[in-house]
Amino acid sequence: MIALSAAEIASITEGVLVEEAQAGIVLTGSVETDSRLVTPGSVFFALRGEVTDGHLFVDAAVSNGAALIVAERDVETSVPTVVVDDGVVALSRLAAAVVERVRRHGRLKVVGITGSNGKTSTKNMLRAVLSDLAPTVAPQGSFNNHVGAPISMLRIDDDTEYLVVEMGAAGPGEIARLVDIARPDTGVVLKVGLAHAGGFGGIEGTRAAKAEMVTDLPTTGTAILNADDDRVAGMASVTAARVVTFGQSPTADYRASEIEVSATGTTFTFAHGDLRRPVALRILGEHHVMNALAALSVAGEWGLDLDRAATVLEGVARAERWRMELFDAPGGVTVVNDAYNASPDSVAAALKTLAQITPSGHRSVAVLGEMAELGEFARDEHDRIGRLVVRLNIGQLIVVGHAARHIHMAAGLEGSWDGESLLVDTIDEAYDLLHPTLRAGDVVLVKSSKSAGLRFLGDRLAGVSE
């Protein structure tokens, strides 16, 4: 974080500094909400959560070196404390102020990324491209909500030139609040799908929420939209910013064609203006082409060398931990561990990739768990995935957990199968059932929402540890 005094932090957060004698102390360390991540000089925000209360961990934060505590009540501690009415609001105020100060005194450019799928992968690709050129800050993992995104923004300092903000939401208004904090120069919308549909009331509610990324962009800003998704492309009518598009559509400003997928990666031909060049991604899956296009679109609109940007993308080894991670497992088995997140669109894309990369004459295996947060759409969407497994001619399906049972039931109802789909209750049962049957040449996809925990099954099958 940029250097701020305790008094400045109290003023920005509209809080009260308990120890006035400490008003002049200057903070330059990280801002954390997890006491385990605190290092000497950190500012610790004690936030109340659904599971626990950060105020219970103030002593732990101080023991780890916290130099300032921001809390919603006075706490007995040996370091200065700022007491605020609402910790989350205070965190947002601090992030907004820091971003604005760095922007005012430096060369900072900010890009916001949202979409039902692909946010983290696109963020990682763009971070690689921008970091190749100048100091860049982007969130680790999926720090994209009302707490994680501001924490990521507070990582910037006076030397930062590029800030990449991933913006997720579980309900209306959340992306708008993040946009208000970060004030992006460029907003990217990747896709509108049914991820977290339970919180939005359906696909149109999701569309309205994702459109919050571009509705408040200034006329000097740029809205980068997926030309292949009608709901995203239609957002051009609700933004005052200049609109740029990407996709496979021949009318897109940044285009991909001749896409090919194999177990070694994904290739396509990239075109923009007079530039036309092949791109060979090491990242697995046709759906990552759109993420790469989005990253290239930002680079192009910011005046960066697109050929160099494409070369950087070709060197990115994986999208993210547990996202289409490919392993050469013992015994000649290939495991694709994609069980960090799951929505109907991402599961369908992963299954399509499984079918594409399984060599002729060898067996494809899908191990699937629950797609969470679908609300009233859960049964129909799990049913649709089960039928898709059969239509893609996947060789074996193992469904894990009662919440995902409709995948198994739908696969059986689709016909032409006899025992190819099996339903088990636990991860251990799935491992004990599958592992003894694996043979050289099998390709196994493990896919579920994070809450189902199948990412650990994928690691176990692959013979890797965290």
Q: Return binding residues for ATP.
A: 115-121
Identify the CA nearest to 190 among candidates 268, 121, 285: 121
CA pair distance 382, 180, nearest whole angstrom: 36
What stretches of 287-416 adopt beta strand conformation (E)? 325-329, 333-338, 364-368, 396-400
DSSP string, 60-79: HHHHTT-SEEEESS----SS
CA pair distance 335, 327, nearest whole angstrom: 5
At how many degrees (to 10) do helices 378-391 and 344-357 cross?
10
Identify the CA nearest to 81 among candidates 110, 99, 102, 54: 54
Q: SS3 for 17?
A: strand
- Spell out the residues 6+ positions from residue 460 whose beta carbon is closer than 8 angstroms to its own: 431
C-alpha 104, offset from chain centre: 28
Give the pairing of strands 31-32 and 186-189.
Answer: unpaired
C-alpha 290, offset from chain centre: 14
CA pair distance 153, 1, nearest whole angstrom: 9
CA pair distance 239, 223, nearest whole angstrom: 8
With 0-12 CB in 10 A as exposed, 13-18 as middle and 19+ as buried, what is 465?
exposed
Q: Do residues 398 and 424 touch, judged by C-beta distance below 8 A?
A: yes
Identify the CA nearest to 224 among candidates 239, 208, 209: 239
- Spell out the residues 6+ positions from residue 161 whose beta carbon is closer than 8 angstroms to its own: 106, 107, 108, 109, 130, 133, 134, 135, 136
- Spell out the residues 6+ positions from residue 136 whose beta carbon is closer than 8 angstroms to its own: 127, 130, 160, 161, 162, 163, 164
- The amino acid occupying position 193 is G
Within 13 A of 118's CA, how many CA atoms are on the CB side? 30
Q: Binding site: residue ranges? A: 115-121
CA pair distance 385, 214, nearest whole angstrom: 32
